[in-house]
Amino acid sequence: MKKVFDVLLARNEFKAEAFIKELDGKKPLFVCTIATTETAKIQGISAAGKYPEFTDYTPPADAELLLLGKCKCINGVPVTPDGIPTPALITMSALRLADIPVLVASGGLKVHPQIPFLDLGGNPGKDIRTGRAVDNVEEVIQRATLAGEHLAKTADYLVIGESIPGGTTTALGVLSAMGVNAVEKVSSSMPDNPHGLKTEAVKAGLAASGESFGTLSKNPIKAISCVGDPMMPAFAGLVMGAAAQVPVLMAGGTQMSAVLAVINALNSDVLCNVAIGTTRWVISDRSSDLRGIVAQIFDVPILAADLDFASSRFSGLQAYEKGVVKEGVGAGGAAIAAMAKVGGAVTKDMLLKEIERNYALLMGTK
Amino acid sequence: MKKVFDVLLARNEFKAEAFIKELDGKKPLFVCTIATTETAKIQGISAAGKYPEFTDYTPPADAELLLLGKCKCINGVPVTPDGIPTPALITMSALRLADIPVLVASGGLKVHPQIPFLDLGGNPGKDIRTGRAVDNVEEVIQRATLAGEHLAKTADYLVIGESIPGGTTTALGVLSAMGVNAVEKVSSSMPDNPHGLKTEAVKAGLAASGESFGTLSKNPIKAISCVGDPMMPAFAGLVMGAAAQVPVLMAGGTQMSAVLAVINALNSDVLCNVAIGTTRWVISDRSSDLRGIVAQIFDVPILAADLDFASSRFSGLQAYEKGVVKEGVGAGGAAIAAMAKVGGAVTKDMLLKEIERNYALLMGTK
């Protein structure tokens, strides 16, 4: 696969290359959109927290890590049940290495982070099996759009990431409601992707809301309201507000395809200014298919940070090569932005060194 | 008084001229810090609301006006008891004319604005006569400092304004606690400055907190906690975080001197990068003395937008020439930034035309 800097051109190579070259030497603003949903507490759905109940703390803890270099609302950092640390560690390392400013935006949280955050008027999400997963969707989209319009004037481009445990299940929900076939195509933070559980939850949510596959293809707001999560309206609004003025890198894995479907239905014009930025782990994952989902929606390019932790001296980082975590908190997009900001002077090896340094500091290892 | 663009060099002419010239053609970010205090409800203290109880709505309504061009949490716009509109009308007109991005930051509110806003972890303020006016001061300062550090990377300089009814009384409180003589020197939104009421409230607050004039000169956090307001820690933190990297224009009237005293006690180094930006109405006000207060604290320059509404076709704007309102919501600083951004191509006459246009739209007049 062709590379520019240590960034793989993973889809629509021509546009992908033009996009990454446009970012060369430019100054980004990184926005981390955080939210929570009860969907994450379905047993076996998410590894973004040691126990299901911990998933309420993962997004605020991730946000604290980005801004403070440590968490405040929990001890240590968010880990999977196997003790593998949050991808926010990658994001934080990349942003600090390239001196990229960060803003945290809340789509709706159970636990507030102990740092400054942009309140967009949303509430925590309910279990999608209720069929009434998110309220206030339209208002949050409007407020986030307004925020995106103003933030676009403060940077050459925006990189927008997310932290919401359970987010691939809600992504499958919205994609299904909108008629995009994503069954067994969404990614997972676990090495064994629990596709069955996700499909079951989405089926229950669609049934409870009286909808079925594709019935909401023209109504993304209702799709989110029924079977989505509160990260989505915040993220989609930010993109729509900003991408009318500057390039926007949507930083994430398969969750981005659900946001893409929402934007495509509301204001597809802005998508000519949008790319998805992810990690090599998502692109090379055989249990999911980001490109296959995107192909059904809109022809945006996909860039993937060519991160490789195989040679890491920490088993907790080597685990990323075995398909654990893969992406999240805009890790891939932040890595791409860090490399592009300095014209490639930040390499994947330098990034790994910085990530290892922070890993040692935060995990208390040597 | 010497002018650069339509900006008066109102104090420390040499530094003031250097400061405004440094802003020439640069891209600012405007941050509006909003908060509420029960102090505003003391009968006769504030004109920032038609009735004392309305003052809870004035800051969120001002913030909505800046971002939406209209208010959502109230009908119309905030007005004085005589129907004179909020200075946010000036701020909004200036920011739109020069396409300056806005971010709203909350120091602590009773009513949330229906727009995106940065939550800094503060709570609404209590009546200073309790002697326990603001809680969480240190934490809010820390969070705001962090926000200021990141926002400084998104702009060439910051303009920070405020909206908090009752703010000159709490300013007198903090200045007095810190040993700065401001009795009969703080400004007022009313034509007849109620100095007696303010002095009385501060005296009661200091007594209730067991403090007196100057006893907290080295403890600005306690001074705010006892007799300040929740705008102050948010504002001071934003300045301290940002001014370490970029110039900061503190946009306001005599309230700025209290924030200046707080910063001077916590981190005076950053003040070499700071100026106060206000209006001609504050500078020429005979019932207050911003320069006399600042002279006791730190030698920062003062810039004043040379606004003149005498020739306005609206009596509601002409009233500004009679000493009503004078300043607020960073009106003076926003006007200065609008002029500086385009190298003086925005003049005071153009500003007045734009303000009149918005006045007519919002007040339903022709």
Residues of B in contact with A139 (CB under 8 A): 114
Q: Please state whether beta strands A157-163 and A117-119 pair in parallel, antiparallel, or not at all (unpaired).
A: unpaired
* Chain A interface disruption, residue of B154, B157, B240, B341, most A CBs within 10 A: B154
Q: Is A155 on the interface with B (CB under 8 A)?
A: yes
Of the candidates A161, A159, A351, the one whose C-alpha atom is nearest the C-alpha of residue A252 is: A161
Q: What is the pLDDT of residue B220?
A: 98
Residues of B in contact with A155 (CB under 8 A): 154
Residues comprising chain B, all counted = 366
Question: Is A343 within 8 Å of A25 (Cβ atoms)?
Answer: yes
Q: Is B92 on the interface with A (CB under 8 A)?
A: no
Question: How are the residues of chain A apportioned to helix, strand and coil, as percentages rounded to the nearest 5?
Answer: 45, 15, 40
- Taking CB atoms and an 8 Å limit, are A116 and B147 in contact across chains? yes
What single-letter amino acid sits at A12?
Answer: N
Token duo for residue A340: 């592009």
- Taking CB atoms and an 8 Å limit, are A146 and B101 in contact across chains? no
Of the candidates A186, A185, A159, the one whose C-alpha atom is nearest the C-alpha of residue A305 is: A159
Q: What is the pLDDT of residue A366?
A: 64
Residues of A in contact with B112 (CB under 8 A): 119, 121
Token duo for residue A84: 């593998």
Q: Please report, in angstroms and rounded to a whole number, the separation of the first and last CA atoms in chain B.
A: 35
Q: What is the pLDDT of residue B366?
A: 64
Q: Is A68 on the interface with B (CB under 8 A)?
A: yes
φ, ψ of residue B219 to 5 degrees: the values are -130, 75
Residues of A in contact with B158 (CB under 8 A): none
Least CB–CB distance from B116: residue in A67, A101, A120: A120
Token duo for residue A93: 């390392």
Predicted ipTM?
0.96
Task: Kindly provide the b/e burial profile for residues B79-102, where b requires at least 16 CB atoms within 10 angstroms of the residue's own CB.
Answer: bbeeebbbbbbbbbbbbbbbebbb
Of the candidates B151, B192, B155, B187, the one whose C-alpha atom is nearest the C-alpha of residue B170 is: B187
The residue to which tokens 């969480």 are assigned = B136
Instruction: Say if residue A358's pLDDT is above 80.
Output: yes
H helices present in A210-296, as ranges: 220-227, 231-243, 255-267, 280-283, 290-294
Q: What is the pLDDT of residue B50?
A: 79
Alpha-carbon distance of B317 to A16, in angstroms, equals: 53
Q: 3-state class of B10 per DSSP? A: strand
Token duo for residue A64: 């604290």
Q: What is the pLDDT of residue A48?
A: 81
Residues of A in contact with B150 (CB under 8 A): 67, 101-103
Q: 3-state class of B55 per DSSP? A: helix
Q: What is the pLDDT of residue B365?
A: 76
Residues 6+ apart with CB under 8 A from B315: none
- Taking CB atoms and an 8 Å limit, are B115 and A155 in contact across chains? no
Residues 6+ apart with CB under 8 A from B259: B232, B235, B236, B239, B250
Q: Is B103 on the interface with A (CB under 8 A)?
A: yes
Half-sphere exposure of A172 (CA within 13 A, CB side): 28
- Taking CB atoms and an 8 Å limit, are A154 and B150 in contact across chains? no
Q: How far, rounded to the nearest angstrom, does the alpha carbon of residue B311 sit from its chain's CA centroid? A: 25
Alpha-carbon distance of A11 to A295, in angstroms, equals: 9
DSSP state of B155: S
Q: Is B159 on the interface with A (CB under 8 A)?
A: no
- Taking CB atoms and an 8 Å limit, are A116 and B29 in contact across chains? no
Q: How many CB pairs under 8 A join A and B?
A: 73
* Interval A330-339 mean pLDDT: 98
Residues of B in contact with A68 (CB under 8 A): 146
Q: 3-state class of B48 per DSSP? A: coil
Residues 6+ apart with CB under 8 A from A305: A6, A7, A8, A277, A278, A279, A280, A331, A332, A333, A335, A336, A339, A348
What single-letter amino acid sits at B174?
Answer: V
- Taking CB atoms and an 8 Å limit, are A115 and B67 in contact across chains? no
* Interval A281-290 mean pLDDT: 97
Instruction: Say if residue A202's pLDDT is above 70.
Output: yes
Q: Where does the pLDDT of residue A50 fall: very low under 50, low under 70, confident under 90, or very high at 90 and above?
A: confident
Q: What is the dihedral of CA A274, A279, A283, A288, to 10 degrees?
A: -100
φ, ψ of residue A282 to 5 degrees: the values are -70, -45
Question: How are the residues of chain B apportioned to helix, strand and coil, as percentages rounded to the nearest 5?
Answer: 45, 15, 40
Q: DSSP per residue over B66-129, as a string?
A: HHHSS-SSSSS--B-TT-PBPTHHHHHHHHHHTT--EEEEEEE-SS--SS-EEE-S--PBPPGG
Alpha-carbon distance of B295 to B291, in angstroms, equals: 6
Give pLDDT tens digits for B224-234: 999 999 999 99
Q: Distance from A299 to chain B by nearest Cα, in Å? A: 30
Token duo for residue B247: 């110039």
Residues of A in contact with B153 (CB under 8 A): 27, 99-101
- Taking CB atoms and an 8 Å limit, are B103 and A143 in contact across chains? no
Least CB–CB distance from B101: residue in A103, A117, A154: A154
Q: Is B29 on the interface with A (CB under 8 A)?
A: yes
The residue to which tokens 């600005």 are assigned = B220
Q: Distance from A264 to chain B by nearest Cα, in Å? A: 23
Token duo for residue A90: 């990658």
* Chain A interface disruption, residue of B67, B112, B118, most A CBs within 10 A: B118
Burial class (CB in 10 A: 0-12, 13-18, 19+), B64: buried
Residues of B in contact with A233 (CB under 8 A): none
Q: Distance from A13 to chain B by nearest Cα, in Å? A: 30
Residues of A in contact with B101 (CB under 8 A): 150-151, 153-154
Residues of B in contact with A118 (CB under 8 A): 116-119
Least CB–CB distance from A118: residue in B67, B114, B116: B116
Question: Is A302 within 8 Å of A24 (Cβ atoms)?
Answer: no
Beta strands in B182-308 (DSSP E): 248-251, 274-279, 302-305
Alpha-carbon distance of A288 to B55, in angstroms, equals: 54
Q: Is B105 on the interface with A (CB under 8 A)?
A: yes
Of the candidates A5, A21, A26, the one whose C-alpha atom is nearest the C-alpha of residue A301 is: A21
Residues of B in contact with A105 (CB under 8 A): 116
Nearest Cα residue in chain B from A122: B116
Give pLDDT tens digits for A211-244: 999 999 999 999 999 999 999 999 999 999 999 9
Q: Where does the pLDDT of residue A304 fall: very low under 50, low under 70, confident under 90, or very high at 90 and above?
A: very high
Least CB–CB distance from B119: residue in A119, A139, A150: A119
Mean pLDDT across chain A = 97
Of the candidates B351, B57, B120, B314, the one whose C-alpha atom is nearest the C-alpha of residue A119 is: B120
Least CB–CB distance from B115: residue in A67, A143, A151: A143
The residue to which tokens 């969070």 are assigned = B143
Q: Please state whether beta strands A7-11 and A3-4 pair in parallel, antiparallel, or not at all (unpaired).
A: antiparallel
* Interval A309-313 mean pLDDT: 96
Residues 6+ apart with CB under 8 A from A88: A61, A62, A65, A66, A77, A78, A163, A328, A329, A331
Nearest Cα residue in chain B from A154: B154
Q: Residues 115-144, chain B: which have Cβ within 8 Å of A? A: 115-121, 139, 143-144
Least CB–CB distance from B144: residue in A116, A121, A146: A116
Least CB–CB distance from B150: residue in A27, A101, A119: A101
Least CB–CB distance from B101: residue in A67, A100, A150: A150
- Taking CB atoms and an 8 Å limit, are A119 and B117 in contact across chains? yes
Alpha-carbon distance of B66 to B73, in angstroms, equals: 13
DSSP state of A171: H
Residues of chain B with pLDDT under 70: 366
Least CB–CB distance from A116: residue in B27, B118, B153: B118
* Interval A115-140 mean pLDDT: 98
Q: Is A69 on the interface with B (CB under 8 A)?
A: no
Give pLDDT tens digits for B324-353: 999 999 999 999 999 999 999 999 999 999
Alpha-carbon distance of B348 to B312, in angstroms, equals: 12
Q: Distance from A285 to chain B by nearest Cα, in Å? A: 35
H helices present in B250-314, as ranges: 255-267, 280-283, 290-294
